[in-house]
């Protein structure tokens, strides 16, 4: 981040604005909304600033700025069209360790004014670090249209119950669960409908009937192949409400950025011959955490039920009476092929598609090669990079042509997305001579030829 987003309490605190024009007037009004005590130094003032002074809302000192005007303010805004003066104000404020904002000059600022969505006490600030303020305002406009004004009333209602809720529940997880249920249920709907008194009664009833939880819940969530835009709404919601995240190495950094900020993160990543936590240990950890009353998100790359061992995990959960939900994700075969411009089926080239793991439980690649080596079929091999030479030999030995098109999709759908194309016979040489990183998916079939025409995501590769 270029700036740390913070909110400053300036209620009844002295703030200085240098300049008296229309831009200064807008900044003054913003400070006044936060209940600041505003002084304005300017040789000439616009009508708006003058009127504020006449109403005794602010103090205006009509003179040229002098260094002695900087005293013990909590923040300073310089809003003049004099670059030299703005720079002087900036230097003086920095030397006095006072936060300073110079309008339209990010290089002179120690803080910048964001675009604001005001649903007080809910306040949302949007910043582009001074690089694209118009874009920030457009984003604000989108949020303004989707966030009802009643969210402020909902926050006020929650604030009036905060002490009761804290006294009712012994741990923070139970308090969080109570509020999430209230904010997503009938209480919130009644506030949005203007029935605040009814919402207050319902919230009190919910609180009176609530008890500390004894059993948590586990969410098996498919994180998709890498692009966070491919997450489902349900996946994102559960990722945001989980207390603990167990994630593997195939979950992209971009997807991990979307989990709840204060959730406990536990890495249980596995790669060939190197398991940081054995599968049995993961299964038991899910049970143990849930029995502690935690809400646990088991976040997996791709889809939990397609070579993700999700079935084994929920077997253990079911045996131990732990409630769970499973959220499908876009599996790597679908995501990687789509982003590579390779349709898995096509009327002219392939009438079926098979997903195959190249790494079985015992470390072998003992597959039904006769069923795989047929025409008009697409084969997608997961975890087969290390065994690519063996699969090339076996498919050819069972009748597949050596010139069958093959694509290797490296880190599909992510910014590092890369596609290598070759033929079945030349596949071992490609893997031996090129540096190809896992995770890599191998697609075998005539549909690979369509990439040249249909590639849209990485057109320059």
More confident residue, 177 or 20: 20
Please give the pLDDT value at position 361: 58
Report residue 173 as tokens: 């997880």
Report residue 269 as tokens: 């990543």
Write the Ramachandran bin of 124: left for phi over 0, alpha for psi from -120 to 50, otherwise beta: beta
- Which of 202, 227, 243, 248 does the annotation list as catalytic? 248
| 332 appears as a binding residue in the annotation | yes
Residues 74-101 pLDDT 10s: 999 999 999 999 999 999 999 999 999 9
Please give the pLDDT value at position 276: 63
Q: Region 396-424: what's the mean pLDDT? A: 95
Please give the pLDDT value at position 274: 54
Mean pLDDT score across all residues of the chain: 92
Please give the pLDDT value at position 130: 82
Residues 12-36 pLDDT 10s: 999 999 999 999 999 999 999 999 9
Q: Identify the three-state secondary structure at position 289.
A: helix
| 44 appears as a binding residue in the annotation | yes
DSSP codes, 388-427: HHHHHHHHHHTT--TT-EEEEEESTTSTT-EEEEEETTTH
Task: Answer yes or no: are the C-beta atoms of 39 and 17 closer than 8 Å.
Answer: yes
Please give the pLDDT value at position 190: 92
Q: Identify the three-state secondary structure at position 278.
A: coil
Q: Region 178-205: what's the mean pLDDT? A: 91
Percent of the residues in the chain that have a pLDDT greater than 90, as a whole number: 79
Dihedrals φ, ψ of 71, to 5°? -125, -100
Task: Answer yes or no: are the C-beta atoms of 438 and 271 closer than 8 Å.
Answer: yes
| 306 appears as a binding residue in the annotation | yes
Task: Answer yes or no: are the C-beta atoms of 177 and 295 closer than 8 Å.
Answer: yes
**Is 333-454 CATH 3.30.950.10?**
yes
Quickly state the pLDDT bin for 216 (edges 50, 70, 90). confident
Task: Answer yes or no: are the C-beta atoms of 70 and 76 closer than 8 Å.
Answer: yes
| 88 appears as a binding residue in the annotation | no
Task: Answer yes or no: are the C-beta atoms of 169 and 178 closer than 8 Å.
Answer: yes
DSSP codes, 128-162: -TTS-HHHHHHHHHHHHHHS-THHHHHHHHHHHHH
Please give the pLDDT value at position 277: 80
Dihedrals φ, ψ of 4, to 5°? -85, 120
14-113 fold? Rossmann fold (3.40.50)
| 224 appears as a binding residue in the annotation | no
Please give the pLDDT value at position 341: 95
Residues 398-410 pLDDT 10s: 999 999 999 999 9
Q: Region 110-139: what's the mean pLDDT? A: 92
C-alpha triplet 81, 82, 83: angle, nearest 5°: 110
In the predicted structure, residue 461 carries a pLDDT above the cut 50: no
Cis peptide before 439 (omega within 30 of 0): yes
Q: Check if 288 is active-site.
A: no
Quickly state the pLDDT bin for 129 (edges 50, 70, 90). confident
Please give the pLDDT value at position 50: 97
The Cα–Cα gap between 435 and 301 comes to: 23
In the predicted structure, residue 177 carries a pLDDT above the cut 80: yes
Which has the minimum average pLDDT: 68-77, 322-331, 355-364? 355-364
In the predicted structure, residue 311 carries a pLDDT above the cut 50: yes
The residue written with tokens 């308090």 in the block is 175
Predicted model pTM: 0.70
| 208 appears as a binding residue in the annotation | no
The residue written with tokens 């599996």 in the block is 331
More confident residue, 14 or 214: 14
Which has the minimum average pLDDT: 97-111, 211-225, 366-380? 211-225
The Cα–Cα gap between 80 and 41 comes to: 10
Query: What is the strand order of the sheet 418-423 is part of?
Result: 352-357, 377-382, 440-444, 405-410, 418-423
- Which of 181, 270, 386, 418 does the annotation list as catalytic? 270
Report residue 248 as tokens: 């593997």
| 302 appears as a binding residue in the annotation | yes
DSSP codes, 49-112: HHHHHHTTSSEEEES---GGG-SS-SEEEE--S-HHHHHHHHHHHHHTT--EEETT-GGG-SS-
Per CATH, the number for 217-330 is 3.40.1010.10
CA-wise closest residue to 221 among 208, 234, 210: 234
Task: Answer yes or no: are the C-beta atoms of 194 and 271 closer than 8 Å.
Answer: no
| 22 appears as a binding residue in the annotation | yes
Q: Check if 63 is active-site.
A: no
Element (H, E) at 429: helix 427-433
Top-confidence range, 41-50, 133-142, 175-184: 41-50
The Cα–Cα gap between 92 and 240 comes to: 43
Residues 253-281 pLDDT 10s: 999 999 998 899 999 986 655 556 889 99
């Amino acid at each position: 981040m270029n700036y740390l987003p913070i909110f400053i309490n300036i209620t009844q605190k002295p703030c200085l604005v240098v300049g008296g024009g229309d831009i200064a007037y807008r900044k003054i009004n913003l400070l006044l909304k936060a209940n600041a005590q505003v002084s304005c130094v300017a040789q000439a003032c616009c009508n708006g600033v003058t009127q504020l002074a006449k109403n005794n809302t602010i103090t205006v000192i009509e003179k040229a700025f002098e260094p002695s005007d900087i005293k013990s303010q909590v923040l300073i805004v310089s809003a003049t069209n004099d670059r030299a003066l703005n720079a002087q104000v900036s230097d003086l404020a920095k030397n006095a360790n006072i936060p300073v904002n110079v309008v339209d000059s990010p290089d002179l600022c120690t803080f910048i004014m964001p675009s604001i969505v005001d649903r007080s006490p809910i306040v949302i600030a949007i910043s582009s670090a001074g690089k694209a303020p118009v874009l920030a305002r457009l984003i604000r406009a989108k949020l303004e249209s989707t966030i009802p004004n009643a969210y402020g009333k909902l926050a006020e209602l929650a604030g009036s119950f905060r002490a009761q809720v804290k006294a009712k529940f012994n741990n923070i997880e139970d308090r969080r669960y109570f509020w999430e249920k209230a904010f997503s249920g009938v209480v919130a709907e009644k506030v949005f409908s203007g029935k605040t008194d009814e919402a207050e009664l319902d919230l009190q009833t919910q609180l009176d009937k609530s008890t500390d939880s004894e059993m948590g819940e586990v969410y098996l969530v498919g994180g998709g192949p890498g692009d966070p835009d491919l997450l489902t709404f349900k996946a994102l919601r559960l990722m945001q409400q989980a207390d603990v995240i167990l994630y593997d190495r195939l979950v992209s950094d971009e997807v991990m950025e979307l989990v709840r900020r204060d959730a406990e993160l536990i890495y249980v990543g596995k790669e060939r011959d190197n398991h940081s936590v054995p599968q049995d240990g993961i299964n038991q950890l899910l049970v143990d955490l849930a029995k502690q009353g935690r809400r646990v998100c088991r976040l997996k790359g791709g889809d939990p039920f397609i070579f993700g061992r999700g079935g084994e995990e929920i077997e253990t959960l079911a045996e131990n009476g732990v409630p769970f939900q499973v959220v499908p994700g876009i599996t790597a075969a679908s995501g990687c092929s789509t982003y590579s411009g390779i349709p898995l089926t096509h009327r002219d080239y392939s009438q079926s598609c098979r997903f195959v793991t190249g790494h079985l439980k015992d470390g072998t690649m003992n597959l039904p090669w006769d069923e795989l080596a047929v025409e008009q079929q697409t084969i997608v091999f997961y975890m087969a990079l290390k065994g690519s030479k063996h699969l090339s030999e076996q498919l050819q030995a069972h009748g597949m042509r050596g010139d069958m098109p093959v694509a290797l999709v490296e880190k599909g759908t992510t910014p590092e997305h890369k596609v290598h194309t070759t033929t079945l016979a030349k596949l071992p040489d490609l893997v031996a001579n090129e540096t190809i990183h896992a995770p890599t998916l191998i697609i075998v079939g005539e549909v690979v030829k369509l990439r040249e025409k249909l590639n849209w995501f990485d057109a320059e590769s």
